[in-house]
């Protein structure tokens, strides 16, 4: 019922161009947040803006027709300006009703033929951010400047990539750039990391296989965020003794190619 209500609201409000951020006014400093996308990559708002980037947030849910229509345009904008490596940073944030698998399917179905902006589901903490911003209609596209101020509450209607470009302040003119080969290599490396077995037995051995030997820092957190294991390695094979009670844990692996976080179950 919630999705049906949201869908009806999205269709009506989007057609009237009234969809917006409800809990902030233009010029307000937004609260910091940390999200984990469907690939396990972590995105912290204040760390991103500290690099001088303008952050474009796309609030969506998977069965929202206007979201399905505009997502490929948002991804094209993301692709045009360097896949978050330049002055523009794009992030798609679910309303908290869809899990990783549903968001991945949404992107595969509606994302278009471009490099897709990172997408965050309920599993990665999207619902709390959606609530903090007070989103009441979908899609809602907003912009946060390097001072952490929200400067556009809603970009609508979306006619093309130029609609997002025109949302930037006068005088801000980012240079289009290719998504770097290095970034592609990093993504391939991180996607190739294998953590097994999962589930793993308590008192067993958790094995992590990397495509090549690189310096790596491994941290394991319990579901409440408490650090239960930490170590550094320089190998393509990591073995971790599982001295933990049964439950769900988060494995965070930091390497020279980037950082990935993946859930594991100890049984």
DSSP 111-156: S-SSPPPPEE-GGGTHHHHHHHHTB-SSSEEEEE-TTSBEEES---
Q: Which helix (H) or strand (E) holds 250?
A: strand 247-255
SS3 (DSSP) at 53: coil
Q: Is the confidence at residue 263, as pLDDT, over 90?
A: no
Between 72-81, 224-233, 258-267, the lowest mean confidence (pLDDT) is in 258-267
Closest CA to 232 of 248, 249, 215: 215
CA 59, 261, 81, 94: dihedral to nearest 10 degrees? -10
Helix, strand or coil for residue 215? strand
Give the domain extent around 185: 181-266
Query: Is residue 200 exposed (0-12), middle (13-18) or buried (19+ Cβ within 10 Å)?
Result: buried
Total residue count of the chain as it appears in this document: 267
Instruction: Please indicate, yes or no, whether residues 139 and 222 belong to a single structural domain of this protein.
Output: no
What would the pLDDT profile of 33-62 be if each residue is shown by its tens digit? 999 998 889 999 999 999 999 999 999 999
How much is the pTM? 0.66
Count of domains forming the chain: 2
77 with 158, same domain: the answer is yes
CATH number at residue 147: 3.40.30.10
The verdict on 137 and 192 lying in the same domain is no
């Amino acid at each position: 019922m919630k999705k049906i209500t949201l869908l009806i609201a999205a269709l009506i409000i989007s057609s009237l161009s009234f969809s917006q951020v409800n809990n902030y006014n233009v010029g307000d400093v937004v609260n910091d947040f940390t999200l984990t996308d469907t690939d396990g990559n972590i995105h912290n708002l204040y760390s991103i803006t500290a690099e001088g980037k303008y952050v474009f947030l796309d609030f969506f849910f998977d069965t929202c027709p206007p979201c399905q229509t505009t997502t490929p345009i948002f991804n094209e904008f993301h692709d045009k300006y360097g896949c978050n490596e330049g002055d523009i940073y794009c992030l798609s944030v679910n309303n908290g009703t869809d899990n990783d698998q549903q968001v991945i399917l949404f992107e595969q179905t509606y994302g278009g033929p471009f490099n897709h902006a990172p997408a965050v589901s309920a599993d990665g903490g999207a619902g709390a951010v959606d609530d903090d911003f007070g989103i009441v209609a979908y899609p809602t596209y907003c912009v946060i400047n390097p001072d952490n101020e929200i400067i556009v509450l809603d970009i609508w209607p979306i006619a093309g990539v130029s609609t997002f470009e025109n949302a930037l302040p006068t005088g801000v003119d980012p240079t289009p750039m290719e998504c770097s080969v290095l970034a592609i290599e990093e993504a391939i490396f991180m996607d190739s990391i294998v953590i097994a077995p999962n589930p793993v037995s308590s008192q067993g051995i958790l094995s992590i296989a990397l495509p090549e030997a690189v310096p790596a820092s491994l941290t394991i957190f319990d579901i409440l965020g408490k650090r239960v294991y930490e170590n550094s390695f320089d190998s393509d094979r990591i073995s971790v003794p599982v001295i933990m009670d049964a439950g769900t844990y988060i494995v965070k692996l930091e390497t020279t190619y980037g950082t990935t976080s993946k859930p594991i179950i100890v049984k």
